[in-house]
Chains A and B, each alone.
Chain A
Amino acid sequence: MTASDLKDEPPKEEPADGPPADKASGVAIAPPHEEHRFADALLALPRETLTLLFEGPRYAAGELDDYLEKRSPNLYARDVHSAWRFGAIVDWETALGPSMGARIGRELGDAAALDGYVGFFGARGQSAGAWATFGQYTEARLQPVLSIDAGRELERVYSGIGMRGPRGEYKQQAITASPMLVAHAGPFAFGTRAAFDASRTDDPDDALVANYDLSQLRGFDETERAVTGELFTVFDTRAPAYSWIPKAAPSSGWYARAGVSYTRGSASRTGEFATWRGALEARRLFDLFRGDRVLSFGARADAVSADADELPFDRLPSLGGNDQMRAFARDELRARSALYGDVQYEWALGRISRAYIFVETGAVATDAHVGYGGGFRLLSGAATSARFQIAGSNTGDIGFYLQLGRL
C-alpha cells in the first residue's frame, strides 16, 4: 500500500457511545403531534375491510414468489419457460349472464403444442375443444393447426332473418373438426382451412314458438352435416410504436383479411344446401401521440351467394356480440349480407391499461343500426386479460360485457 493510498483511505468509523436512537432529540417540552382521530375512526371500517380483502392475494403472491424462485434459481423469473400453459376466464354478457372457462396447454418441444379448453358453464351451455399447433417447419413458416370443438350451447338470440324481431332462446349441439394450414411471409399470411361440422338445433322457448313458424325455418329442429373449404389471406402491419407498449395495443398499421369459402351440406328435414361466402375485413390504426393514443377505423363485409331462405339460419352472416354492434347479443342480427364499420379511439391510462370509446354502425339486409360506447381493458403481453365494456344503440339496446382472465 502506498502513501497515497493511505492518504485516500477513509478514516476508521467506530461506533460511538450515546443515548438510544429515540432519545437524541434533546427536547424538554415537545409540542403535540397533529392527529385527526375522528376522521381516522370514520375511515377505520373501509380501511380494515380492504386490508382483510387484500390479505388473500398477498398470500398467493408469496406462493408465486416461491414458485418463480424454484423455476429460475437466483434469476427471479428470468428465463422461465414453462412447457405448460394455463388460462381461465370469467365473462358476463348482457344476454347470457356469467360464464366461465379454463384452458390447459402444453408445448411438445419446439415442434408442436397441444391445448384444450372447457367452458361456458352457466346459462350459455357447455363446450369443450382441443387444438394442436405444429411448429414452423419451412422458410415460408408453414404452420399447421388442427382444432376440434364440441359443445351444447344455449343461444339466447334472435333467430329470424332480415329485420330484427323478438328475442328467443334455443339450444344447439355441435361438433366441428377443422384442419388449417397457414403460411407466413412478412406481413402476409396465406391460409387454407377445411371444416367438418355436425349440429342439431332444438328446444325453442315460448318466444320463438309464438313469433316464428319454426317448421318453415331452415336449420331448426333438424340435424345438419356440412363441409366447408376456405382460402384466406391476411395482411397485418400493426405494431406498437415503442418497445414498452404491449403487443396487445398496437399503435399503427393495417390489418386486412379477405376470405372466400364454399360450404356444402345436408339437413335432415329440409334437405341439401350449398353456398359461397365472401368476407372482407380491414382496419387502419393511426398513432395520434406517443404510440398510445390510437385512432382506428374498421370495416367488414360478409355475404353468402345463396338466398337467405335456402340456408340454415345459423349459417347466415351476422352482427352482434362483444366486438361488433356491441349493444346487441351475439349473432342477434342475421341476413344474407352484413356490413359493419366503426371508429374507435383508445388511449393509455397506464402502461398496461387502456380506455376506449367507439361509434359503430352495422346493417343486415336493409336493417341498419348505430351503436356507441366505451370500455377499459388491461393488457398482458399480446392479449387482453380483463375488459369492461358498455354499449348502447339507437334502438335503446344496452350491451354490457365483463371479461376477467383470458383463454
Chain B
Amino acid sequence: MRPIALLLVVGCAGTKQQTPGVLRFVNQEPVLAVNDHKPIPPPKKFDPGLVEYYWHEDIIVTTREALTATPPRPAANVNSLGDVPNSAWFVNREPTPAQIRRGPGGDGPDQSEPWRVIGVKVGGAAIGITIEDARHDRYVIKFDEPKYPEAESATDVIVQRLTWAMGYNVPENNVVTFNRDRLVLDAKAEMRFRTGDKRKMTKADLDRFLALVDSGQGTFRALASKLIDGKIVGGIEPAGVRAGDANDRVPHELRRDLRGQRLLWAWVDHVDLKSQNSLATYTDDHYIKWYAIDFGESLGIGALTNPEPRLGYSQSLSIRRMLASLVTFGLHVEPWERDLKYPKLRGLGEFESTMFEPGAWESNHHWRPMETADRFDEFWAAEKLMRLSRAHIEAAVEAGRYTDPRAAAYIVQTLLERQRKIGRYAFSRVAPLSRFDVSERGTRLDLCFDDLWLVYGYGMPRDTVYSVRSFDYAGRMLGAAARYRASASRVCIPNVATGADHEAYTMVKLDVRQMPPMFVHLARGPRGMRVIGIDRR
C-alpha cells in the first residue's frame, strides 16, 4: 500500500510482543456512550464538487500517503473492550427481523393525496425530485432508470436496512410506485444548486426530469427517502475533523465505526463510497449527526449500470494493477475478467459470492477511513455483521420489494455466502474470542468467552486448544502456562491465577490457532472481578 515508504522502513520492524507490554486500563466499566451532542454554533459546510473531491482523494492524498512511512494509527474512538460507544455516528443496536423489515422510519410518503413537487434533488447524477406529502413530510424521490427497473430502488432500501441494522444512522427509505398524476408542481417549487444559486422550478423542468425516467408503462417506481431533520452541512470528511465542531474530536480516519465499514461495504458491494454519499446534519439540538446515504449502486448495480465489471474488485485508478498488466503484457488476468455469469433477473446487478474475497474488495474511489482499517476494526465489524441471521437478511431484502421472487432469493443467498466469507476472513486474523465473563472462585477465577470461530462453525471444538497464562500488574507471570481443549463454542477457563496488587489487576493471555495472542485485563470492582480491558494483538 505504501511501497516507497515500505522500502525505507524495511528491516526496522520488531517482533510481535508476546508479553503484556505497557498497556494498562483504568479499573472501571467500559464506556458505552460518549457525549458528542453538546450544542455548538452552526458549523462550516463540507461540500466539494465531485471532480475536485476525486482529484484530492485519488491523487493528492494517495500520493502523500505513498510518501509517508509512518503507518496509520489504530482506531481512537473505542472503549476498553475495543467496542464503539453509542454516539452521534453510531448506535449499538440489535434489531429484530421485523424491525429491519420496517426500517428506522415509517412506510414512506402518505398516499392519500397528490404529492406536491417542491424542488429537485441537490447534487449527484441520479435523477430525483423533492416532494411534500399530505402530512407535510418531505421526501427525495429517486427514480429507477428505465433500462434497469427496480435495480437502484431495491438495492438502496436493502442496503439501507442492513446498514441501519449494523448501527449506523441512515435516512428513512422505502420503495414507492405511483402514477404521473400523483405529482403536482407546487407554486413555490424551486431549483436549488450546490453552488447556492436557486431559481423557480417550472413544469418544463419537471417534465424534463420525468422524461428521463419514464419507462412508458404509466407508473414510476422510485426510492422515497425522507429528508433528514436539521440543516444539511455537507458530507463526512474522509479525514480530519469538522472545523468548528467541538464534539468531533476523533479524526474520521481514526474512527472504528467508519473504518469497520470496510467489511459492511464489501459485504453489500457498496462501491460508490465518497463524502457525497454521506451526510452531516446540524440538528435542532445544535449538534452534528452523521449519516450514511445513497446505497443504490451496491449489490453489483454499479457494475451493471456504469457499466464496469471491475467495480468491487479494483479502484478506478490502480497503479499496482497497471504495472502488473504492463510487465506481463496483459497476460495477468484480474478476477473480474473471468467469465462470470450473473442471473439476468429484474432488479439484479453483477453481484456474486464465488469470486468475492473480503480482503481484496475495493471501492471505486479512495475512501480514507476504510483504507486505514486494520484487522481489529474488521474484527469489530465482522462480529456485528455475523450476528445478522438469514431471517434478518431476508427481512432487509423483503423491504426492497423485488417483483421477481427469484431475485430476492438470489440476493439473500449471495449475501449469506459473502457473509460467511467475511466471518472466515476476519476471525482468522485476530483471536476471535469475545463476550468475556469472569467469576471468582477463592483466589482464582473462571474466565469464560465465546470463540466466534466455533460459534459460526468454521472449526470444531475438539480441534481447538487454548494456551493460557496470567500476569500481574507489573507483568510478572502468575503460575505456569496451562492448555485447555474446547468442548463447545462457549469456553470457560477455570482456575486462572489472579494478581495480588492494584485491585487484583490481572492480565490473561490467550493463544489459539497460531494467531496473535490477546490479553484480557481484569481487576476487582465493586461487585467482584470484572473485565476492564481487552488488548488484541
Chain A interface (Cβ within 8 Å of chain B)? 5, 7-11, 13, 15-31, 33-37, 39-40, 42-43, 46-47, 50-51, 54-55, 57-58, 61-62, 64-66, 68-70, 73-79, 242-244, 289-290, 292-293, 345, 347-351, 353, 355, 357
Name the residue of chain B whose CB is nearest to the CB of A350.
Answer: B322
**A26-B127 contact, Cβ under 8 Å, with A58-B56, A69-B193:** no
Interface size on B, residues (CB 8 A): 94
Are B22 and A29 in contact (CB-based, < 8 A)?
yes
Name the residue of chain A whose CB is nearest to the CB of B85.
Answer: A24
Are A26 and B533 in contact (CB-based, < 8 A)?
yes
Question: Which residues of A sit under 8 angstroms from B306, Cβ to Cβ?
Answer: 244
Cα A76 to Cα B197 in complex, Å, equals 15
Sort A-B residue pairs by CB-CB distance and give the 6 closest, nearest first. Answer: A65-B49, A347-B330, A26-B80, A39-B69, A36-B69, A16-B33
Question: Quick check: is B93 within 8 A (CB to CB) of the other chain?
Answer: yes
Are A17 and B33 in contact (CB-based, < 8 A)?
yes
Name the residue of chain A whose CB is nearest to the CB of B249.
Answer: A22
Contact of A69 among B49, B121, B326, B533 (CB under 8 A): B49
Are A39 and B102 in contact (CB-based, < 8 A)?
no
| A/B pair count, beta carbons within 8 Å | 231
Minimum C-beta distance from A357 to chain B (A): 8
Question: Which residues of A sit under 8 angstroms from B123, Cβ to Cβ?
Answer: 74, 76
Name the residue of chain A whose CB is nearest to the CB of B505.
Answer: A28
Question: Which residues of B sit under 8 angstroms from A26, Cβ to Cβ?
Answer: 25-26, 28, 30-31, 79-80, 532-533
Are B247 and A21 in contact (CB-based, < 8 A)?
yes
Are B5 and A39 in contact (CB-based, < 8 A)?
yes
Minimum C-beta distance from A312 to chain B (A): 44
Cα A36 to Cα B69 in complex, Å, equals 6
**A16-B318 contact, Cβ under 8 Å, with A27-B25, A349-B326:** no
Name the residue of chain B whose CB is nearest to the CB of A37.
Answer: B70
- Extra contacts, 7 of them, besides A78-B125, A345-B329 (Cβ < 8 A), are A9-B102, A22-B77, A43-B8, A47-B67, A61-B52, A61-B54, A353-B322
Name the residue of chain B whose CB is nearest to the CB of A288.
Answer: B330
Minimum C-beta distance from A243 to chain B (A): 5
Question: Quick check: is B73 within 8 A (CB to CB) of the other chain?
Answer: yes
Name the residue of chain A whose CB is nearest to the CB of B96.
Answer: A8
Contact of A243 among B50, B85, B307 (CB under 8 A): B307
Are B68 and A47 in contact (CB-based, < 8 A)?
yes
Chain B contacts with A in 425-439, Cβ cutoff 8 A: none
Contact of A21 among B34, B60, B318 (CB under 8 A): B34
**A10-B195 contact, Cβ under 8 Å, with A16-B33, A244-B306, A349-B326:** no
Contact of B63 among A11, A30, A42, A54 (CB under 8 A): A54
Are A347 and B87 in contact (CB-based, < 8 A)?
no
Are A69 and B194 in contact (CB-based, < 8 A)?
yes
Contact of B325 among A24, A65, A347, A357 (CB under 8 A): A347
Are A62 and B80 in contact (CB-based, < 8 A)?
no
Are A347 and B329 in contact (CB-based, < 8 A)?
yes
